[in-house]
A and B are shown apart, each in its own frame.
Chain A
């Protein structure tokens, strides 16, 4: 029996682009690290008010920085995120209260759908691509109605208050519960630090499939950057060299609830089409190989694949230190 998974709470708001990036990175790592990822839809407006902070977009230079930053991070983190043309007028004025109440209702009624539906909302706001979350029109309508009940309003308020008690002055925040201690990290660019805090028992090593990989971090936690090699996250090369996250057929098949035939068929077909056409390519390539290369990631990924084939031979040569297991 392995070590108890560590709980990670991710507090996020779909208004926050960095929340999307942090969300995607942690979703990728939830099947690699020994963690229990809990998604906590929160209201960033409430956090700003409570902390006395103000939205970065209101400072012109921060807004400009964010616009450039998002462009770079799109490639580096491989999330199809783009600043919408009407960001300031629509998003800052409209706000995210109803969206986050909707997600709160989803979390109360259909928690297994929260990840997909959150992603769909981000896609609609922050991407030219749209994606079906697999929710029927009736389901969506029902949840929309529930969103304005006191129960849902209070739940969102409680979650937002919880984030404030953890010390949030913005989003995303990730709260790691480790050995009786609580660590709060702010931002999507602190995942390496998070890995460090989660420490040596992060590995999900199982005796049979245990594969150790060489790390360039010596005694430190190994992090494969924002795009760890994993079958649950495969990438599709689009014209123009940009990449779109594609979710595996298995994921789509298991988590899609009963939906009207054609919409499910549409989304499943798109999954199957993209996955089967790219499966061979994706499985044999590192996810980030089509982009301006971060050589260390490619080297590490290629190395780990070679090791998995030659596991018996290289076992004795591996540096033994806490590592996570990559089943392959």
Chain B
């Protein structure tokens, strides 16, 4: 019997482009590394408020940096991510609360669908391509209704609070549970360091594997 898989918790929000990149990299590695990847839909607005931080996009140079960065990372990480033309007006104003409540509902009712549905939401916001998550219209409708129940609202709040207790000031954060210790890493560009903490092999953002996506 092999060693016990290490638990990795990925806290993410679909509003966060780096969350998508971190998500895809970890999804590729979940079948390579000896890990148990747990997806934790969180609300980045809540984390910003609780930590006293502010969204990088609000600093002009950070916004500019992100726009260029995403272009390069698109190629390097091989994720079809693009800054939407209407990013600032639609996304920053609209926010991600309903989307993340929706994913929380998915996680409560159909956890096996969470990965696909999360990806579909990112695709819709951050990519010209769209993808069917395999969810029927009725299912989607039902989950949308559940999204506004107290149960779902509280669950999202709890998950976001958990991220804050781990020390989050933004997203994505990955929390690795290794030999009784907890390590929190921030960002999608810390996967090599994560591998080091896990004692696993890092093979870049696109590891050669049959199960790798995209």
Residues of A within 8 A of B (CB): 51-53, 59-62, 64-65, 68, 72-73, 76, 167-169, 183-184, 186-187, 189-190, 192-193, 196-197, 216-218, 220, 225, 292-296, 299
Chain A binder among B2-10, B147-155, B195-203? B195-203
Give 6 pairs: A residue, B residue, CB < 8 Å, sorted on A. A51-B61, A68-B167, A168-B61, A189-B187, A197-B72, A295-B200
Q: B59 contacts which chain A residues (CB < 8 A)?
A: 51-53, 169
Interfacial chain B residues near A193, Cβ < 8 Å: 72-73, 76, 189
Q: Distance in Å from the Cβ of B201 to the closest Cβ of chain A?
A: 4
A293 touches B204 (CB 8 A): no
With contacts A72-B197, A73-B193, A189-B187 taken as known, whether A296 is within 8 angstroms of B52 at the C-beta atoms is no
B206 within 8 A of A: yes
A-B contact count, CB below 8 Å?
93
Is residue B124 contacting chain A, with contact meaning CB distance below 8 A?
no
Pick from A64, A190, A216, A218: contact of B167, CB under 8 Å: A64
A72 to B183, CA, bound (A): 9
Contact with A along B180-214 (1 / 0, CB 8 A): 00011011011011011101111110101000000
Distance between Cα atoms of A294 and B192 in the complex (Å): 9
Contact with A along B63-89 (1 / 0, CB 8 A): 011001000110010000000000000
Residues of B contacting A186 in the complex (Cβ-Cβ under 8 angstroms)? 65
Bound together, the chains give a CA A218 to CA B206 distance in angstroms of 10
A52-B60, A189-B193 known; A196 vs B76 contact (CB < 8 Å)? yes
Instruction: Tell me whether A167 and B187 are in contact (CB under 8 A).
Output: no
Q: Are A61 and B167 in contact (CB under 8 A)?
A: yes
Contact check, A295 vs B193: say whether CB atoms are below 8 A apart.
no
B204 touches A192 (CB 8 A): yes
Given contacts A61-B52, A294-B201, A299-B201, list 16 more A-B pairs with CB under 8 A: A51-B62, A53-B59, A62-B169, A68-B184, A72-B183, A76-B193, A167-B61, A169-B62, A184-B65, A186-B65, A193-B72, A216-B201, A218-B208, A292-B199, A294-B202, A295-B200
Q: Is the CB of B189 within 8 A of A294?
A: no
Instruction: Give B residues with C-beta under 8 Å from A.
Output: 51-53, 59-62, 64-65, 68, 72-73, 76, 167-169, 183-184, 186-187, 189-190, 192-193, 195-197, 199-204, 206, 208
Cβ–Cβ contact B187 & A65, under 8 A: no
Pick from B167, B184, B193 the residue with the most CB of A within 10 Å.
Answer: B193
List of A residues within 8 angstroms of B201 by Cβ: 216, 294-296, 299
In the complex, are the beta carbons of A53 and B72 less than 8 A apart?
A: no
The 8 closest A-B pairs by CB, nearest first: A296-B201, A169-B61, A61-B169, A216-B203, A51-B61, A61-B51, A294-B196, A217-B204
Q: How far is the CB of B65 from chain A (nearest CB, A)?
A: 6
Residues of B within 8 A of A192 (CB): 192, 204
Residues of B within 8 A of A76 (CB): 193, 196
- Check if A183 sits within 8 Å of B61, measured CB to CB: no
What residues on A are CB-neighbors of B62 within 8 Å?
51, 53, 169
**Chain B hits for A296, CB < 8 A:** 195, 201-203
> Do B189 and A187 have beta carbons less than 8 Å apart?
yes
Assembly CA distance A184 to B64 (angstroms): 11
Cross-chain contact B61 with A53 (CB below 8 angstroms): yes
Which one of A60, A216, A292 contacts B52 once the chains associate, using CB atoms below 8 Å? Answer: A60
Contact A294 B52 (CB under 8 A): no
Instruction: Give Cα A293 to B73, complex, Å.
Output: 28
User: Residue of A at shortest CB range from B47?
Assistant: A61
> Do B65 and A169 touch across chains, with their CB atoms under 8 A apart?
yes
A220 and B205 CA atoms in complex are apart in Å by 10
Report how far A271 CA is from B20 CA in the complex, Å: 47
Complex CA distance for A73 and B194, rounded to whole angstroms: 11
Closest to B200 in A: A295
- Most-contacted residue by chain A among B59, B65, B73 (CB, 10 A): B65
B206 to chain A, nearest CB (A): 7
B205–chain A nearest beta-carbon distance, Å = 8
Q: Enumerate chain B residues within 8 angstroms of A217, measured Cβ to Cβ.
A: 203-204
Give Cα distance in the complex from A328 to B64, angstroms: 43
Least CB distance, A253 to chain B, in whole angstroms: 34
Contact B196 A61 (CB under 8 A): no
B190's contact among A183, A189, A216, by CB below 8 Å, is which? Answer: A189
A72 to B184, CA, bound (A): 11
